Amino acid sequence: MSTEGEVAEVTAEVASEAAPAASPPPLRYLVVTGFGGYDKVGDRVLVLIRSGMWQEEVTVPSANTFLMPEAMTFEEAAALLVNYITAYMVLFDFGNLRPGHSVLIHMAAGGVGMAALQLCRTVENVTVFGTASASKHELLKENGLTYPIDYHTTDYVDEIKKISPKGVDIVMDPLGGSDTAKGYNLLKPMGKIIIYGMANLVTGPKRNLMAMARTWWNQFSLTALQLLPANRAVCGFHLGYLDDEVELVSGVVARLLALYNEGHIKPHIDSVWPFEKVVDAMRQMQEKKNVGKVILVPGPEKEN
């Protein structure tokens, strides 16, 4: 289940289509993502398809699949790829994260935020600032967050400037609106802000057109002439528009699975919900109660 909404996900344990048995082996399905081209009968695979995955059975091209590690659970698979592909490409492909860098991660307790924290720990001496509710700070520090900031009570720009007067090297921005301008102005020379969401458009359980219009009006913009002397970069990332970049994304998947097998990353599961409680699962995220990934599965409800 993707909090960004641009990519729906699913995984399946592939059953034999040619088996002559009267009762075919049971199928297991979960939300996941991936690439690679595995189609051997019985393989547990990750699948990345743009939409249509919130259902019990799906048919997907084998080229859109990637083999799951033996030790990986379906819940971990569901939580891994959309979040970790996003975090990896934002930090390394766009951000060029290196030892000694500093990073601001907004929504640090979300799926992408938790993934980014773990990926930052794979690079030496990275300082990580993260915004999240105060109740989530201790868990985030356990996962690598250097400086947690409660955005409800504190101006994160002021807090960062107290610790790092020059600002940060990378800003991960899933918020949009006025926060993009704040993030841009926090950048050090040669710094980069990567925009990969527009969470500020959503202000509550119901659509608020005025709030959406306000966020849109406050959206950050600048000209090339303004950007040139600033020695900063503004980037945009949307995984849903990399459908045709199989080689690019599959290379990222291979690196992520290697990190998983080496024990450097491990998805944090917030909760698992049956399809029948999709509204409750969405409310869990909308009310910002989750720490990590919220998963949808068919079948009976599991204890969270």
Tens of pLDDT, residue by residue over 231-268, are 999 999 999 999 889 899 999 999 999 999 999 999 99
pLDDT for the residue numbered 209: 76
Quote the CA–CA distance of 69 and 203 in Å, as a whole number: 39
Contact 91, 116 (CB under 8 A): yes
Give which of 8, 33, 7, 13 is closest to 250, Cα–Cα.
33
Answer for the pair 233, 95: CB distance below 8 angstroms, yes or no. Answer: no
- Sign of the dihedral defined by the CA atoms of residues 226, 228, 229, 234, in that order: positive
Please, which pLDDT band fits residue 204 given cuts at 50, 70 and 90? Answer: low
Distance CA 84, CA 102 (A): 19
CB atoms within 10 A of CB 162: 9
**pLDDT digit string, tens, across residues 212-232:** 777 777 778 888 999 999 999
Q: Are 295 and 8 in contact (CB under 8 A)?
A: no
- Structural domains in the chain, CATH included, are 45-293 (3.40.50.720)
Q: Which two tokens stand for residue 77?
A: 């698979």
* Rounded distance between C-alpha atoms, residue 265 and residue 273, angstroms: 23
